Structure 1
Amino acid sequence: MAKEGEACSSVHLAGNSLAEVVLREADGHLSAPLQGTARCAQNRARLVQALYTRLDRLTEPAPATA
């Protein structure tokens, strides 16, 4: 049976892994050159929105387990 601290640290590690994936993905998208078009601006706005959505998931408290 896992101790309370161990459960917290595994959740923390999972959050760190997700954060690393999100940052790597964002870095790949943001490294594309700007084109100065409405489509490019919309894609950047979608990326920012997705990043904030994922950030919200990282900062939510972990669900209680039975």
Structure 2
Amino acid sequence: MEAMKNDMKWRKSSRSGSNGGHCVEVANELDTIAIRDSKNPNGSLLLISHEEARALSKHLKNA
């Protein structure tokens, strides 16, 4: 799992700023979206499908 985390291309919102705030980072893999806490990059990952990511995004935009 550690090698997989290191090989992923992680990104975070440009709105998160550079002050080390409360951010998540996202990596887009072939059939999975990986989400992690930017303050704990070696911690657990949330792995969801692209379909689940679209549903989550839609829900968050409407919340």
Larger RCO of the pair (alpha carbons < 8 Å, separation 6+): 1
Which is higher, the Rg of structure 1 or of structure 2? 1
Structure that is richer in strand per residue: 2
- Tell me the TM-score normalized by structure 2: 0.28
Higher helix share: 1
